Amino acid sequence: MGAVYLAKDIRRHAVCAIKEMGLSQVPAAEREQAIDNFKTEAKILWGLSHRNLPTLMGFFSENQRYFLVMEYIDGRTLEDLLELNRGPFPERRVLGWARQLCDVLEYLHSQNPAIIFRDMKPGNIMLSRDGQ
């Protein structure tokens, strides 16, 4: 994924995140496949509904640029929290995060066909201000 922009959906009067697919790093010969993969991913995300996944509000392309419009999560990545924290997190908090991640993975794996989250890492896990 490329850049992420903070925006306001004027129809819904809601703040949202717009994620741009980064094509600049994709070799020209692979761009068409990358665009097809983006469209497939957007269609898959469109059908998901889980309390610990951001809602996909839409997707579009403009001037050969491709975007996902998603629910904005007011918080930080787990990677950011790890960098800011001095020492270990309380066990109870870590177990809460682990339960939520397992719940999301169970939901994704129960889809038909199963959805595999291949890029799970602290930088891709958002935590809202209330720890969700």
Bridge partners, residue 83, by sequence: none
Catalytic residue numbers, as ranges: 119
Closest CA to 42 of 14, 13, 1, 6: 1
| Cα 15 off chain centre by | 15
What is d(CA 29, CA 32) in angstroms, rounded to the nearest whole number?
Answer: 7
Helix (H) or strand (E) holding 23: none
User: Integer distance in angstroms from the first to the last C-alpha of the chain?
Assistant: 23
Closest CA to 39 of 62, 72, 67, 64: 67
Please enumerate in sequence order all residues whose Cβ is within 8 A of that of 44, keeping only pairs 6 or more positions apart, or say none: 115
